[in-house]
Structure 1
Amino acid sequence: MLYFRMILMMLVNLYTSRVVLNALGVENFGIYNVVGGIVVMFSFLQGATTTATQRFLNYELGTTDGKNLLKVFSSSIEVHIFIGLICVCIAESIGLWIVCHKLSIPIESRDASIWVYHFSVFTFFINMINAPYNAAIIAHEKMGVYAYIAIVEVIMKLLVACSLVYFLFDKLILYAALLFIVALIIHIVYLFYCRICFCECKFKFYWDFTFIKKFFSFSSWMLMGSLASLLSTQGVNILLNIFFGPLVNAARGVACQVQAAVNSFALNFMVAVNPQIVKSYSQQKLDYMYHLVFASSKFSFFLLFIISIPLLINTDLILTLWLKNIPEYAVLFTRLALIDILFQVLNIPIGVISQASGKVRNYQLIMALFFSLIFVISYIAFEKGAPAYSTFLIAIFCTVLGTIGRILVLKKMIDFPVLIYLKKVVFPVIIIFLFSLPVLFLSDIYWNIKSSLSAILFFSLLIVSLFSYLIWKIGLSSSERFFFIQKLQQIKNR
């Protein structure tokens, strides 16, 4: 269900981006990305508290009694409302000042950008208080319901995008306002479903100081990592706006849309795996937990790799088919963003171990260090006259170093089996990645010789088949191949 949701969402989101880009125009699309990005900067709070809520709910569900579920959920609601209100106050003061006085926005679009900002703030608050309900559905592993609601949401966003062409009102303001309405409707759906199906989701006021302290202790370290991650994304987006203008923001916006669509394959896989990892830790089934982590790390990488290879060699063609107007630099930005996400995906499963243990301080510190370096080095590079694409190269370099740092921290923190991880995950991944380099190089030569659509499609299919075979023979162990064969037989016999 998660993959059906993801594939549909990816297709609809890509088409929606095309519709929105054409309806708003390249400049307004860039303005929406950078102005909305100011509000997204506050999402590091939402991400940290949502992760904390999911962790504590999963942990309680993994215990035998689960008597604290109501307390955990109600307390998390209170925390999310409290933090959400603080964020709104900061956003409507400091954030609004940045929009009005620091961003490079054409004068004729200033008023519209301010309205877009206000609606983005309201949308953020709705999503903030919705997070505990979302976490409850995932903790209970109701993936079908999670998928259905997400499908409804993405279809509503598509209808919003398509409706823009029928209104004479300022399209930039209208788009932001309609997205706020969509967020409100989805929140109501989540609220009613959780209240009906989960007994702990019937809110009751608690003020358990011990739990609140534990919750904020966990969240505060998660906030540090999330804030640093934000610097490497939205912070860099602002730097690009200041140094290069909104047209480069539009190109980066396109690259990030493709990156997010591809990354959703791994994230959907981990949505299903994460609750089991945390529950396994709470039950002290460590062997099973490491099995899940190693398998999900490798599977996530190979899944993204198979998807990314044809995108990397056909980026120009795909963006041409997808968008009528391709922003300058979008092709190069997209390719570099795809390479970066391939390295990032290895960090997702091992990060869940840190969250499951509750020992997140050192892990989040190492995350914060390398995410912050992306922003700092990019700023220095831009000051020295480096081109806009250099920030993607910096991000790839810091991602690789950051992965090494995280593994070493986990080794010291919970005696993470580094050698087994290297043998089962890192070495197979490196071998497959190294095989891809000459193929990508030869594909560029091939395009220079012959670049008809049929030839491109045939060559892409050939490359995907080749790497699928290499992953099957080299990337997967014999037990993993046997596992897949068993699953295919089960599907066939249904």
Structure 2
Amino acid sequence: MSTSGNIIKNTGFLYMKMGITVFISLYTTRVILNALGASDFGIYGVVGGAITMLGFLNGAMAGATQRFMNYSAGEGNETKQLTIFNNSILLHWSIAVIVAILLESAMFVFFNGVLNIEPDRIEAAKWIYHFTVISTLFTIITVPYDAAINAHENMLYYAIVGILESVLKLIAALIIVHACIDKLILYGIFMAGITITMLIIKQLYCRKHYVECQINLKRYIDRKTLKDITSFAGWNFVGSIGTLLGNCGGSIVINHYFGTAINAAENVGSQLRGQMLAFSNNMLKALNPVIVKKEGSGDRTAMLKFSLTGSKLSYLLFAILAIPFLIETPYILKLWLKNVPDWAVCFSRFQMAVALMEQLTITLGTTIGATGKNKELNLFCSVARFVPLFIYIPLFANGFQPYWLYVIMFVNFGFIINGFTLYQCKKFCGLNIHYYCKNVLFPCIGCSLLSLGIGFTTYLFLDEGFVRLILSTFFSLITYFLCMFAFAFNKEEKHIIHSLSDSILRKLKIKR
């Protein structure tokens, strides 16, 4: 099968998974919010907030093992993949133990004057913290197996496991509704248990189906390979920790000044943003291995082509959901949740806007990593995501409103981090910035602004309700699709879309 055909097939599996898991996850969040209440939901968000970031941490760290496995596959070197996997197992076990010790040590600081939690819920919050540490430990250990599945581009199995995980979380939520013991503690137990279950499932599958996933540390530990992976994974880890500390630190800061109720609003926005990002990020799981393999085979021109198209498509796909949501956030949250926490509307809109800005360079980090030059980017991003904490504190101490957390985040991600990523891609990969702006940045921003303007016109002239939701969505998306196909895609991309459409139609006719 051709590269494009394989990407399309794998993307199809991932969208199948998304179509099932998004609705399950959104309903699960609604059940948990109403079962725990806004205060306990906020406690889980701030104390166990690392869990919501584990997916990012897992993906960033898996990038190291996956990069080396994909690069070796591009070279056609199967023996090297076995060495890479075993060295990666040793590395991630070591990282997991160190992180667990550091997190447990930090608990005494968090629960002695940092976190603003009601006295009668301190004990439950401590239990949630311990379960978060357990989840973190096993998530890091799972990284090499996730990398192997992605390196083999086995998105069907990835989709099946993702659906199973969502179903288990829904079952846990339904059990908690009727539980007689402390529901918050029970929820933490379930989340840790599900993380361990996912590790076991992935481990058994990889050992059975992939030759390179056979563990023999004594035979395959290689100092040079371990040093290379450690260096690459180390800088990926630095970037991930910066993001983790920045996001969790922001949650802790606003909790300190505004209480747990504000964290409930933040948690709602994070849950919704994560599910919507799955719509665009599914394509990236199928595309990222291809980008690295192209570099491994020495075809940098093709690597850049796939990378720029990936960022553009990721933005355009995410915007299909983000634009109607940005227009009708209050009404959509009312439909989704019985009780909408204060600030949830504002926070959710800001999180969508930040996520849109992230998509503009989403594949360029993979492109830079494919060359092995990930040190400068990860170091810069780690510092850039952590430094705003020292801005939040004086602002909130002087009476600034909570939304300033996201104003600073938007500027940081949209201009500072994206700008440095472009610079690094030009420096190490030969990216033409003018070509990027002309073919990715300006078309994406232009389509979004025009469709938002049309959608908000409907919003202003009609009363809130289902009719306005349908009309504002219809007019904004019609405008968006017309602009997208007229201005966003170049000739080659339009040709691929037309060819794909013709192929799908022919298959449908054959089946009939």
TM-score relative to the length of structure 2: 0.92
Alpha-carbon distance in 1 for matches of 2:504, 2:183: 47
Tell me the equivalent position of 1:68: 80
**For the aligned residues, what is the CA RMSD?**
1.8
Q: Give, as a single letter, the amino acid of the residue that structure 2 aligns with 1:372.
A: F
* Higher alpha-carbon deviation: 428-437 or 159-168: 428-437
Tell me the equivalent position of 1:297: 311
Tell me the equivalent position of 1:84: 96
* Higher alpha-carbon deviation: 427-436 or 289-298: 427-436
Q: Match for 2:135 among 101, 120, 123?
A: 123
* Higher alpha-carbon deviation: 451-460 or 180-189: 451-460
Tell me the equivalent position of 2:479: 466
SS of residue paired to 1:67 = helix
User: Would you say 1:182 and 2:190 are equivalent positions?
Assistant: no
Tell me the equivalent position of 1:362: 376
Alpha-carbon distance in 2 for matches of 1:210, 1:242: 46
Alpha-carbon shift at residue 450 of structure 1 (Å): 2.6
* Higher alpha-carbon deviation: 274-283 or 362-371: 362-371
List per-residue Cα deviations over 1:378-425 (Å, max 9, x = no partner). Answer: 233223321100111111111122212211122223322222222211
Tell me the equivalent position of 2:117: 105
Alpha-carbon distance in 1 for matches of 2:315, 2:56: 25
User: Would you say 1:353 and 2:367 are equivalent positions?
Assistant: yes
SS of residue paired to 1:468 = helix
Change (3 A) 1:162 1:468: same
Q: Contact 2:71–2:292 (CA<8 Å) still a contact in 1?
A: yes
Alpha-carbon shift at residue 86 of structure 1 (Å): 1.3
Q: Contact 1:43–1:124 (CA<8 Å) still a contact in 2?
A: no
User: Would you say 1:279 and 2:317 are equivalent positions?
Assistant: no
Q: Give, as a single letter, the amino acid of the residue that structure 2 aligns with 1:414.
A: C
Tell me the equivalent position of 1:389: 403
Tell me the equivalent position of 1:418: 433
Q: Contact 1:378–1:391 (CA<8 Å) still a contact in 2?
A: yes
Q: Contact 2:459–2:468 (CA<8 Å) still a contact in 1?
A: no
Alpha-carbon shift at residue 183 of structure 1 (Å): 1.7
Percent identity reads 32
* Higher alpha-carbon deviation: 29-38 or 191-200: 29-38
Tell me the equivalent position of 1:484: 497
Aligned pairs (5 A) from 1:82-481: 82-99=94-111, 101-205=113-217, 206-401=220-415, 402-446=417-461, 449-481=462-494
Q: Give, as a single letter, the amino acid of the residue that structure 1 aligns with 2:449.
A: L
List per-residue Cα deviations over 1:22-55 (Å, max 9, x = no partner). Answer: 1111100000111112576788865543221111
User: Would you say 1:22 and 2:34 are equivalent positions?
Assistant: yes
SS of residue paired to 2:388 = helix
Q: Contact 1:39–1:117 (CA<8 Å) still a contact in 2?
A: no
Alpha-carbon distance in 2 for matches of 1:217, 1:40: 26
Alpha-carbon shift at residue 156 of structure 1 (Å): 0.6
Alpha-carbon distance in 2 for matches of 1:100, 1:162: 34
List per-residue Cα deviations over 1:177-234 (Å, max 9, x = no partner). Answer: 1122222222111111101100011111143211111112112222222222123311
Q: Give, as a single letter, the amino acid of the residue that structure 2 aligns with 1:418.
A: I
**How many residues in Structure 1 have an aligned counterpart in Structure 2?**
492
Q: Contact 2:255–2:263 (CA<8 Å) still a contact in 1?
A: yes
SS of residue paired to 2:431 = coil
List per-residue Cα deviations over 1:424-451 (Å, max 9, x = no partner). Answer: 11121132133245335424422xx433
Change (3 A) 1:375 1:7: farther
Change (3 A) 1:86 1:45: farther
* Higher alpha-carbon deviation: 82-91 or 225-234: 225-234
Alpha-carbon shift at residue 259 of structure 1 (Å): 1.1
Q: Contact 1:344–1:399 (CA<8 Å) still a contact in 2?
A: yes
Alpha-carbon distance in 1 for matches of 2:133, 2:155: 29
Query: Unmatched 5+ residue regions in structure 1?
Result: none
Q: Give, as a single letter, the amino acid of the residue that structure 2 aligns with 1:35.
A: V
Q: Give, as a single letter, the amino acid of the residue that structure 1 aligns with 2:448.
A: F
Q: Give, as a single letter, the amino acid of the residue that structure 1 aligns with 2:467.
A: S
List per-residue Cα deviations over 1:350-371 (Å, max 9, x = no partner). Answer: 1111110000122223323432
Alpha-carbon shift at residue 167 of structure 1 (Å): 1.5
Alpha-carbon distance in 2 for matches of 1:445, 1:115: 47
Q: Give, as a single letter, the amino acid of the residue that structure 1 aligns with 2:197.
A: I
Change (3 A) 1:323 1:452: closer
Q: Give, as a single letter, the amino acid of the residue that structure 2 aligns with 1:115.
A: W
Q: Contact 1:305–1:342 (CA<8 Å) still a contact in 2?
A: yes
Q: Contact 2:458–2:471 (CA<8 Å) still a contact in 1?
A: no
* Higher alpha-carbon deviation: 151-160 or 461-470: 461-470
List per-residue Cα deviations over 1:280-325 (Å, max 9, x = no partner). Answer: 0011111211110111111111111111111111111111111111
Q: Contact 1:411–1:418 (CA<8 Å) still a contact in 2?
A: yes
Alpha-carbon distance in 1 for matches of 2:432, 2:279: 26
Q: Contact 1:237–1:249 (CA<8 Å) still a contact in 2?
A: yes
Query: Unmatched 5+ residue regions in structure 2?
Result: 1-12, 508-512
Alpha-carbon distance in 2 for matches of 1:171, 1:430: 44
Tell me the equivalent position of 1:58: 70
Q: Contact 1:304–1:342 (CA<8 Å) still a contact in 2?
A: yes
Alpha-carbon distance in 2 for matches of 1:47, 1:144: 18
